[in-house]
Chains A and B, each alone.
Chain A
Amino acid sequence: MDSESVEDFYSVGSALSSSSRRSNFSIQSKASGRNSIREANFGGLEPKSVRYGSHGANSETNSISMSQKEIDVEDARLVHINDPFLTNERFEFSGNSIRTGKYSILTFLPRNLFEQFHRVAYIYFLVIAVLNQLPQLAVFGRGVSILPLAFVLLVTAVKDAYEDHRRHKSDRIENNRLASVLVNDQFQQKKWKNIQVGEIIKIYANETIPCDMVLLSTSDPTGVAYIQTINLDGESNLKTRYAKQETLIKIPEKDKITGLIKCEKPNRNIYGFQANMEVDGKRLSLGPSNIILRGCELKNTAWAVGVAVYAGRETKAILNSSGAPSKRSRLETHMNLEIIFLSLFLIALCTVVSVCTTVWLRRHRDELDYMPFYRRKNFSKGEEENYNYSGWGLEICFTFLMSVIVFQVMIPISLYISMELVRVGQAYFMIRDTQMYDESSNSRFQCRALNINEDLGQIKYVFSDKTGTLTENKMEFQCASIWGVDYSGGKAISLDQKDGYFVKVDGSVLRPKIKVKTVPDLLQLARNGKETEEGSHVHNFFLALAACNTIVPLIVDTPDPTVKLIDYQGESPDEQALVYAAASYGFMLIERTSGHVMIDIQGERQRFDVLGLHEFDSDRKRMSVILGFSDKSVKVFVKGADTSMFSVADRSMNKNVICTTEANLYSYSSLGLRTLVVGMRELSTSEFKEWHSAFEIASTALMGRASLLRKVASNIEKNLCILGASGIEDKLQQGVPEAIESLRTAGIKVWVLTGDKQETAISIGYSSRLLTSKMTQIIINRKSKESCRKSLEDAIIMSKKLTTISGTTNDTGGMSGAGLTPIALIIDGSSLVYILDSELEESLFQLACNCSVVLCCRVAPLQKAGIVALIKKRTSDMTLAIGDGANDVSMIQMADVGVGISGQEGRQAVMASDFAMGQFRFLVPLLLVHGHWNYQRMGYMILYNFYRNAVFVLVLFWYVLFTCFTLTTAITEWSSVLYSIIYTSLPTIVVGILDKDLSRRTLLKYPHLYSAGQRHECYNKKLFWITMIDTFWQSAVAFFIPLLSYWGSTVDASSIGDLWTLAVVILVNLHLAMDVMRWNWLTHAAIWGSIIATFICVIVIDSLPFLVGYWAIFEIAKTGLFWLCLLAIIVAALIPRFVVKFLYQLYVPSDAHIAREIEKYRTQTESGAVGREMNSFLDAPRR
């Protein structure tokens, strides 16, 4: 197998390589005779027949798992390796074909309708339409009443169908990809969709994995496979997966692999897997490192063989592909309240109508039979019978229902649809915004949740992660302290030594991909070798850096054939930085397998056996590697966080070194560097043997393996000799200080939650201008609840004192801008443990409210969410959480708005977020510009939609008062249906997408303008009621001017109905035009186009001879009265609004008004005419 792996190395799974492999196998398998009947042939190897064996295994596992309790029997899934028939005997596991499409041709109609009617709005529509079908209630014609619903349903259905079609297409491509599957002891190409659980699949390098499978063997003799999970979580580095030793030696074609895998039910956790496998009577336990998931790619490994355990829709990738959790925007919640008001209003209107009907019927009860326009009795049939009269109660009831039908548009159903459209439009512009495009990572802004756009305009708290969010998470080795000597560059050394360090191999040059700045004297020391004492320490230090990690070196070709780059792939960016640093000091890691590492030390290639490796875990906070040197000595190298390292250091030895190292560490971390401490120890043979046996036992243990391993690790990681420490700079992202500053001026409180040390956090705080020297810092880091309580109380008292004192001094001093003495609260994770979820929460909240900056260090992911919840529970302010790593997910989901940074730490955060972007500084345009716009537009749009529909309904209502309260509409039913579809819908959508109250420049220049959203300036109760009063006035004007003008004239219902229609439509559109702040051709087209469209529609409707209103518009448009009425309505209706608006602008101008004037003023002064401003202003009231 070894030879084969070499042969096939880097083969790209092509036909050629697979055929060569096949021939290889055939040679090997000749002896045992392939292609013969399986059971007979391999009976020798596998004493029980498959069927019997599996049954036996079944009962066996049952009994064991009872005691084992690792996987419950009921919850387990049993996979018989290489026996898909038996595995799928009960048809419970899905095949590997995926269907992301929701519908098939047959199910499309019912399912789509079903899904659509999940929206309450549509149900309302439907109920109204159904009511209208009852003959007693038929207000509108049948067709007319269904039209709007049908229209909306159709549009949505077409959209859904298109999307589904695309999904089907991509599914088909995905399902028809090929993979080689073991069938009858031969690997054959098989379509993905035909792969079944239990089958053995062979994957070649760079191929995508078709389903979740447990690794059996790989081309690597130690069973390592490298996979790239970019499709799954976006992480581009390689991850290592291992095949079990027991299965590694088997060749699928030759050795019949049979066995049983017992694993958990399919779940979404892509980082977890629990199973055990039974092969040859041995029971092995499997973990996340033994499974490769669908969607990943095999890299750097010639081939890998695995058995499918989850297929198709049960794979973790597909289970994870569901969308972001849906959140509801704050504005919409408020809006729903107002909708209830409107519903009440609607009910009130209907009640008024019903009551009036009752009174009228009562007063005229004797005349009903004879009134020519009522005629209760029907004489045509010979005998008298009631015509369309069902008695009192029913008549009133019918009237009520009919009025609901007539006034249905009071509830702006179309608002929901237009809001969705507007949000899509807004999202489009946000995505297209070049200021939020990250060139370095080539990532655009992403809108993952479409329904909280406007919340971006109301954020009050920003919770930010530090690493990867404020900082780039591109680690750079800066300085080292070795044996107590600080080698920090001081004078920044450029890379003038031409190409940094390189190695010559077979005539070609091997060079690390990233060059690191080096400190010359340290470089000199490293070059001098380990002869001197100092030199040997340096040597050991860098050897530790190069070896003690999980980095995988990858050799990458460059265009220049003589130069090859070495790329270090690994999960931790810190480790990468350290290895690159070691490489540039001449300790270049060339090759890593599970058995050995090859390190080129100053041009001399050395091989070290890796005897053991204890991976990093968050409890120990360190990792160690045990290296066997060529001179048979064994050393353990340990690397870890300072606290954990010093606790296991041998303090008796070189106290001095430890002290100075600690001092250096302190200075590093106050520079904002991330520090790691490196230590080593030489192991005696007995010690090693002891460890080795313990390690063997622990790593094969079935239960509690992790804790056993941890114990073994901590046994060996002790009495360390501290070699030194490294300082890695985590660079701040571009523009972060400016971004934080403008966020703070915008009235947003920025909290930083980080896992870093307090010193590091504070130093980052300074460099990001989160903390300034003017601030008073309150630091809480206590180890018990009582002391926490005490320090919290003290802090509150102090903060109160500070705020009051600064308030008074501020008044006397008359300092502008500076305001209060800001307080910064710095609190650490261990204190938070005591504070969160206890009664101290409240006092923390009080304290935090007084502080302008809060910095939480050493916090765990769940604590992050806890802090967000702390604010969210106690205030109604909007919170935003921004982060990039998996540890921020809980926080992102907790906050009202979650923003993910698509950075180095993978896509977990992005997957959980509502919005995703490339850099922290994009938060500023996102909130200050787009958030402000979105909020302003959406707030206006909701109000406008309420107004627009209410005006129309009120006009209908007024008319009803003059028709004996019978729901006659002068406005034709077609017009009332088209009103919200054609006449008035487009302008609000266009304005909702395009209107900008202020330019981007102004908004960025005056971040204070953002606070309008925090104060709910664009949408609140007051505005709602003002709008409603305005609505009342406008509808009254629109109705009564024609009424009084035409009172006692020959006008017929259709003509005056047309007048009302046109008046309302023009009024409503002009109202919008009056409020548009920024005109562009689309706005013009939409507003004037709608008015023209209305005229055309009215004309068309009146040109249909079978309708009552035939030719009415032409007849009435001939008269001057019509046009005069129209003009009078528009002016009289808009005057109050105009006056109020003007007075507001003059006397209580909002910040936005002034800023707008500044904008205008600027442009005018630029054009050189200052005086014109005055004139234009004086002209303004005259219109």
Chain B
Amino acid sequence: MLVSIVFIPIGVVSLFASRDVVEIIDQYETECVPQNFRNDKVSFIQSNANKTCTRRLTVTKLMKKPIYVYYQLDNFYQNHRRYVKSRSDSQLKDNSGWDEVSSCKPEDMSNGQPIVPCGLIAWSLFNDTYNFSLNNQQLAVNKKGISWKSDRDRKFGRNVFPRNFQNGTLIGGKSLDPTVPLSKQEDLIVWMRTAALPTFRKLYGKIEWDLQPNEVIHVTLENNYNTYSFSGKKKLVLSTTSWLGGKNDFLGIAYLTVGGLCFFLALSFTVVYLVKPRRLGDPSYLSWNRNPGGH
């Protein structure tokens, strides 16, 4: 009963919180490939063709600032064992460890030189870019502070600069500005926090602007990132946030279910008890009293 008393309100509250969150999701990995390449998306993405693509997003409800811009990848196993292990934390932290690349295979060396940052994770850094405009006015995307402060301060060194990065025969993703230290490369920092699940979002930036209903946002995006080779989906997500995080009804429903179940159980126990009580601690229920001598 107690459980239900606590759980049902929590469920309601979290459902409301989840409902409050306004999300715009735009799946673009197919639409941003020209019609003639639709049969062979991989060759398109590997070609040097212009990959710019424009999307129109309509705001359904009022979106209060800050609005978070995420990219969501489906079917991308950032938790794959080979992938997760292919990094070198000591290299990221301090300049002195720049050649500690043994754990980074197969992206440890390029042209005989260690790569900084090495490893598959860094190599496959997401490189689609988004530009938002509202009524032909550029909407600024704030890319500062999208990563964890702890990561910037202590995990990614201030004196570590990209070196020999994306120099190999195979380009996996975004290149990094060799003059900017890793602690400032927030896209990389976000990406390096590998996702737990094969469907994940990563923060791209924040829009510090309230969006009114029915406003149309034009997104100019560079569709560079190759998810086609493993038929992964790419989505652009604009979302507000609540105290509970993003939009997810599951927990609210779960709470309501559990609470309801508890309520039902408590009720039925009470009924059952009233209908057919058993006196507690009644010695006559002891097995040897019930059927004498029979054991």
Chain B residues whose CB sits within 8 angstroms of the CB of A1115 once the complex forms: 148, 150
Residues of A within 8 A of B78 (CB): 373, 1053
B109 at the interface (CB under 8 A from A): yes
Contact A1158 B283 (CB under 8 A): yes
Residues on A with beta carbons closer than 8 Å to the beta carbon of B266: 1181-1182
Determine if A1121 and B244 form an interchain contact, defined as CB atoms under 8 angstroms apart: yes
Whether the pair B287, A1151 counts as a contact (CB closer than 8 A) is: yes
Given contacts A1131-B7, A1149-B278, contact A1111 B150 (CB under 8 A): yes
Let me know if B12 is at the binding interface, CB within 8 A.
no
**Residues of chain B from 83 to 136 with CB closer than 8 A to chain A in the complex:** 83-84, 87, 89-90, 93, 105-110, 120, 123-124
- Complex Cα gap A30–B295 (Å): 85
B-chain residues with CB within 8 Å of residue A1049 when the two chains form the complex: 200-201, 245-246, 248
Per the bound structure, the CA–CA distance linking A170 and B79 in Å amounts to 59
**A367 near B230 (CB under 8 angstroms)?**
yes
Contact A372 B83, beta carbon cutoff 8 Å: yes
- Report yes or no: A1135 in contact with B262, Cβ–Cβ below 8 A: yes
Asked whether, in the complex, the Cβ of B197 is within 8 Å of the Cβ of A962, the reply is yes
1/0 contact trace for B175-195 toward A, CB 8 Å? Answer: 000000000000000000111
> For the complex, is A545 an interface residue (Cβ under 8 Å from B)?
no
For the complex formed, measure the closest distance between the CB of A1145 and the CB atoms of chain B, giving whole angstroms.
Answer: 9
A1011: Cβ under 8 A from any B Cβ: yes
The interface residues of chain A lying within 8 Å CB-to-CB of B273 are 1146, 1177-1178
User: Are A1110 and B79 touching (Cβ within 8 A)?
Assistant: no
A388 at the B interface (CB under 8 A)? yes
Question: Which chain B residue lies CB-closest to A388?
Answer: B82
Contact among A816, A819, A820, A1111 for B148, CB-based, below 8 A: A1111
For window 665-681 of chain A, which residues contact chain B by CB distance below 8 Å?
Answer: none
- A105 to B254 alpha-carbon distance, docked (Å): 62
Q: How far is the CB of B225 from chain A (nearest CB, A)?
A: 9
A1107–B226 touching, CB < 8 Å: no
* A767 contacts partner chain B, Cβ-Cβ < 8 Å: no
Residue contact A380 to B10, C-beta cutoff 8 Å: no
Does B83 lie within 8 Å of A373, measured CB to CB?
A: yes
What mask results when residues 136 to 156 of chain A are scored 1 for a CB within 8 Å of chain B, else 0?
A: 000000000000000000000
Evaluate contact between B281 and A1135: CB separation under 8 angstroms. Answer: no
Please judge, given known A-B contacts A1045-B248, A1049-B246, A1142-B269, whether A819 and B292 are in contact too, CB under 8 Å.
Answer: yes
Interface string of A378-390 (1 = CB under 8 A from B): 1111000001100
Residues in A neighbouring B49, C-beta threshold 8 A: none
Interface assignment of B169: CB less than 8 Å from any CB of chain A: yes
When each residue 149-174 of chain B gets 1 if its CB lies under 8 Å from chain A and 0 otherwise, what string results? 01100110000000000001110110
Q: Is B221 part of the contact surface with A, judged by Cβ < 8 Å?
A: no
Identify which of B50-58, B69-77, B208-216 touches chain A. B69-77
- Interface flag for A504 (CB, 8 Å): no
Q: Which residue of B lies closest to A1006 (CB)?
A: B286
Q: How far is the CA of A349 from the CA of B73 in the complex (A)?
A: 29
**Cβ contacts A156-198/B at 8 Å (1 or 0 each):** 0000000000000000000000000000000000000000000
Enumerate chain B residues within 8 angstroms of A1111, measured Cβ to Cβ: 148, 150-151, 154-155
The answer to whether residues A373 and B150 also contact, given A388-B82, A388-B105, A1050-B201 and a CB cut-off of 8 A, is no
Q: Is B140 in contact with chain A by the CB < 8 A criterion?
A: no
A372 touches B226 (CB 8 A): yes
B residues 223-280 near A (Cβ < 8 Å) are 226, 229-230, 243-246, 248, 250-251, 254-255, 258, 261-262, 265-266, 269-270, 272-273, 278, 280
* Residues in chain B near residue A452, CB distance under 8 A: none
Chain B residue numbers with a CB within 8 Å of A747 are: 295
Closest-CB distance, A439 to chain B (whole angstroms):
34
B98 CB to closest chain A CB (Å) equals: 15
**Chain B CB within 8 A of A327 CB:** no
A1047 interfacial contact with B, CB 8 Å = yes
Interface size class of A (residues with CB under 8 A): 35 or more
Asked whether B141 is an interface residue with its Cβ less than 8 Å from the other chain, the reply is no
Q: What is the 8 Å Cβ interface bit string for chain A, positions 811-827, against chain B (1 contact, 0 not)?
A: 00001111110000000
Q: A1143 to B87, alpha carbons, bound, how many Å?
A: 53
Nearest chain A residue, comparing its CB with the CB of B245: A1121
In the complex, the answer to whether A1053 meets B82 with C-beta atoms within 8 Å is no
Given contacts A1056-B196, A1115-B148, A1154-B285, contact A1183 B106 (CB under 8 A): no
Q: What residue in chain B is nearest A967 (Cβ atoms)? A: B81
Judge if B202 is at the interface, Cβ distance under 8 Å: yes
Query: Given the interface contacts A367-B230, A1135-B261, does A1052 sit within 8 Å of B194 by beta carbon?
Result: yes
Contact A820 B124 (CB under 8 A): no
Q: Which of B148, B154, B245, B282 contacts A1119 (CB 8 A)?
A: B245
Asked if B3 lies at the interface with its beta carbon under 8 angstroms from chain A, I say yes
Set of chain A residues within 8 Å of B155, measured between Cβ atoms: 1105, 1110-1111
Residues of B contacting A114 with CB < 8 Å?
none
Q: Which listed residue, B70, B168, B272, B293, touches A1050 by the CB 8 Å rule? A: B70
Q: Determine whether the beta carbon of B79 is less than 8 Å from that of A962.
A: yes
A1161 touches B281 (CB 8 A): yes
A1173-B280 in contact given A372-B83, A963-B81, A1045-B248 (Cβ < 8 Å): yes
Distance between A803 CB and nearest chain B CB, rounded to angstroms: 11
A1048 to B239, CA, bound (A): 13
**In the complex, B30 has a CB within 8 A of chain A:** no
- What residues of chain B lie closer than 8 Å to A1052, measured between beta carbons? 193-196
Q: Counting CB contacts under 8 A, is B37 at the interface? A: no
B residues in contact with A370, CB < 8 Å: 42, 226, 229-230
How does the 8 Å CB contact mask read for A700-743 relative to B, with 1 for contact and 0 for none? 00000000000000000000000000000000000000000000
A1041 to B198, CA, bound (A): 16
Q: 1/0 per position for A1077-1117, CB-CB distance to B under 8 A?
A: 00000000000000000000000000001111011001100
State whether A1043 and B286 are in contact (beta carbons under 8 Å apart), knowing that A370-B226, A967-B81 are contacts in the complex: no
- A1125 to chain B: which residues have CB within 8 Å? 251
- Asked if B251 and A377 sit within 8 Å, CB to CB, the answer is no
CB closest chain-B residue, reference A747: B295
Partner of A371, one of B106, B151, B230, B272: B230
A1071 to B2 CA separation, bound complex (whole angstroms): 18
Q: Does A375 touch B at the CB level, under 8 Å?
A: yes
What is the bound-complex CA distance between A1050 and B245, given in angstroms? 10
- When distances are taken between beta carbons in the complex, the residues of chain A under 8 Å from B107 are 375, 380
Cβ of B288 within 8 Å of any chain A Cβ, yes or no, is yes
Residue A1051 at the chain B interface, CB threshold 8 Å: yes
- Complex Cα distance, B292 from A1142, in Å, reads 26
A1105 and B154 form a contact (CB under 8 A): yes
Residues in A whose Cβ lies below 8 Å from that of B246: 1048-1050
User: Residue of A at shortest CB range from B253?
Assistant: A1044
Q: Which residues of A contact B38 (CB under 8 A)?
A: none
Interface string of A1138-1152 (1 = CB under 8 A from B): 010010001101110
Interface string of A1049-1064 (1 = CB under 8 A from B): 1111111110000000
Residues of B within 8 A of A364 (CB): 230
| C-alpha gap A1125/B14 in the complex (Å) | 11
A334 interface residue (CB < 8 Å to B): no
B203 within 8 A of A: yes
Is the beta-carbon distance between B295 and A1048 smaller than 8 angstroms? Answer: no
- Give chain B residues whose Cβ lies under 8 Å from the Cβ of A1160: 280-281
A375 touches B106 (CB 8 A): yes
Q: Is B60 an interface residue (CB 8 A)?
A: no
* Residue contact B120 to A1120, C-beta cutoff 8 Å: no
Q: When A379-B168, A1057-B196 are in contact, do A1128 and B148 touch as well, CB less than 8 Å?
A: no
Q: Which residues of B contact A963 (CB under 8 A)?
A: 77, 79-81, 198
A487 interfacial by beta-carbon distance below 8 Å: no
- Asked if A1053 and B286 sit within 8 Å, CB to CB, the answer is no
Contact present for B124 and A1047 (CB under 8 Å): no
The CB with the most chain A CB atoms within 10 A, among B170, B248, B281, is that of B281
> What would 8 A/B residue contacts be, using CB atoms closer than 8 Å?
A367-B229, A370-B230, A810-B293, A819-B294, A967-B81, A1154-B283, A1159-B281, A1182-B1
**Inter-chain pairs besides A967-B81, A1146-B278, 6 sampled, C-beta below 8 Å:** A370-B230, A817-B293, A962-B198, A1108-B89, A1154-B282, A1177-B280
Which 4 pairs between the two chains have the least Cβ-Cβ distance? A819-B293, A1182-B1, A1157-B281, A966-B81
